[in-house]
Chain A
Amino acid sequence: MEEPIISIRNVYKYYKDDIQALRGVSLDVYKGEVVMIIGPSGSGKSTLLRSINNLEDIDFGEIIVDGLSVKDHKDINKLRMEVGMVFQQFNLFPHLSVLDNVMLAQKIVRKRSQKEAYETAMLLLEKVGIPDKASAYPLQLSGGQQQRVAIARALAMNPKIMLFDEPTSALDPEMIQEVLEVMIQLAKEGMTMVVVSHEMGFARAAADRCILMDEGKIVEEAPKDELFRNPKEERTKLFLSKIL
């Protein structure tokens, strides 16, 4: 059996005032897999995703990403270099041009030369379909364009894994598709992806596995988009009836 690239073992996370965000979550993600996590707000799905690159500290359990533990804070930047993340709010750097957004971390974290970083950046901007916006500033772009830049920025680090935290939730409906297309393309190229999203279209096109989380636990897990089409658990049915 192949080693999982992300191994989540019995993870617990408490917030202040004793709210439990994660209550014993275990999950393996294998190289090239696309795992989709759905669930009501407050179910801990974003917390789980953010634990994978240690934006959240876990209180108990273990997460190993490509051989590195999230608890080993000395190596955390090494781990994060391998794990790209795309946020709901894009979080582009507004004081830098699109090109600089994509180039900065390459230069100062990956230590690439200006030329190499530039070439990588332009290649990726082409890939996400907005090379003509390279010299624009993030806030001159539409939400969909910003999110595509954010994907390019994460990809520029040549990560082994990509995490998506509700990447289309802040977008106007007509812009969702352009972002999903980039994500589906990425999945087809064999990128390992963990996606928190309720976009059924993405599940149908790209997901290898879907997971429903509720109250900090994994409730149901099913291959492809079967979770949407053929839910087994009552909790899943109830949730799907609300979002569909």
Chain B
Amino acid sequence: MLSKKKNENDTNQWIDKDLPQVGELSKIDAWWGLVLIVLISIILLLVLKPDPFSRILDYVSDGIIVTLEVTVFSFIFTMVLGLFCGLGRVSTNKIIYGLVSIYVEIIRGIPLLVQLLVWYFAFPAVVINIGKSMHYEPFENYLANPVAMAIIGISICYAAYMAEIVRAGIESLPAGQMEAARSLGMSKSQAMQHIILPQAYRTIMPAVGNEFISLLKDSSLVSVVAVADLTRRGREFMSTTFMPIETWLMVALLYLLMTLISARLVKILENKSKMGGR
């Protein structure tokens, strides 16, 4: 009886998702409406008060590019590293499991801002010291690239969280899926590739989307390690013009526009992944 109930739940999980839901459609429209409102607000500010808003946008526009660049590259590395670490977290190999677990626990216990400071300030100092003691010139003259360090720092931090999402996604599947695959003679990696991960992928899509949006927002932290992102460009503009209200209003609206559009794109991807299975 109990097992039958469980099975019915599974059924719902797979069928409900694929039915187009009336409520959801109107929700999508409402959300695009919000995007539109933000966009219109920005345009109105630019048109009605080109000074200073147009100047601000001009000034910070290269920062937007940097923010997107840091976000997208960090996210790609996060996905790759997070997938492998997630697999490590479900590994039966004790050494792999142990190493990955230590990594995840350490990273999740340290604030991202501190990690970024370590990568930008402490890491190059270590390299230079090593270079000096070994008289190895390239190391002695090592100069950290702020954007590269920021991407490394964010990726390594976010991958630890991503690993837990991947692990939860894999563990959410019934043990019978792996058993059925193995009983057909599939190796563990074949079963992962063809049976477990495609199913886990659908379960974790929403969480992965949320991570992308968090990452986009957290990328503003890189402004303290010499990366000229949107936040840093905003701060520079404010300190030369002393217009905090206008500057941060503009910056906040730009972030909001980016996160709202991302949320929409994530949702579209999510729906697409559900349709794909049918």
Contacts and interface: CB of A to CB of B under 8 A. Distances in A.
B15 interface: yes
Interface in B128-149: none
Contacts of B174: 89, 91
A55 B179 contact: yes
A95 B15 contact: no
A170 B8 CA distance: 11
Nearest to A100: B194
A89 B7 CA distance: 8
Q: What size tier do the contact residues of chain B reach?
A: 20 to 34
B15 A91 contact: no
B4 A170 contact: yes
Interface string A80-113: 1101110111011111000000001100111000
Given A80-B184, A93-B180, A94-B14, A108 B190 contact: yes
B10 interface: yes
B3 A170 contact: yes
Interface string B152-177: 00000000000000000000001011
Contacts of B7: 89, 143, 170
A80 B4 CA distance: 27
Point out which of B174, B179, B190 has the most chain A C-beta atoms below 10 A from its C-beta: B179
A95 B277 contact: yes
A109 B184 contact: yes
A187 interface: no
B3 A88 contact: yes
A89 B3 contact: yes
A85 B183 contact: yes
Contacts, number: 78
Nearest to B12: A139
Interface in A162-179: 170
B27 interface: no
B117 interface: no
11 contacts: A77-B186, A77-B187, A84-B184, A87-B176, A89-B3, A93-B195, A93-B199, A105-B185, A139-B10, A154-B183, A170-B4
Contacts of A10: none
A105 B184 contact: yes
Contacts of B185: 77-78, 80-81, 105, 109-110, 157
Interface in B178-236: 179-187, 190, 194-195, 198-199, 202
A236 interface: no
A87 B198 contact: no
A60 interface: no
A137 B4 CA distance: 18
Contacts of A192: none
B240 interface: no
A137 B184 contact: no
A154 B181 CA distance: 10
A140 B183 contact: no
A95 B199 contact: yes
Contacts of B4: 170
Nearest to B1: A170
Q: Give the 10 A-B residue pairs with the shortest CB-CB distance, closest first.
A: A91-B180, A105-B184, A81-B185, A91-B176, A85-B183, A80-B185, A109-B185, A139-B11, A77-B185, A139-B14
A139 B176 contact: no
B109 to A, nearest CB: 31
A191 B11 CA distance: 32
Contacts of A84: 183-184
A53 interface: yes
A157 B14 CA distance: 27
B183 A80 contact: yes
Contact of B199 (A91, A94, A150): A94
A110 B190 CA distance: 13
A13 interface: no
A105 B186 contact: yes
Interface string B239-278: 0000000000000000000000000000000000000011
Contacts of B179: 55, 87, 91
A109 B190 contact: yes
A110 B183 CA distance: 13
B89 to A, nearest CB: 21
Contacts of B199: 93-95
A198 interface: no
Nearest to A172: B4
A140 B176 contact: no
Given A104-B194, A109-B185, A137-B14, A87 B180 contact: yes
A80 B182 contact: yes
A108 B183 CA distance: 13
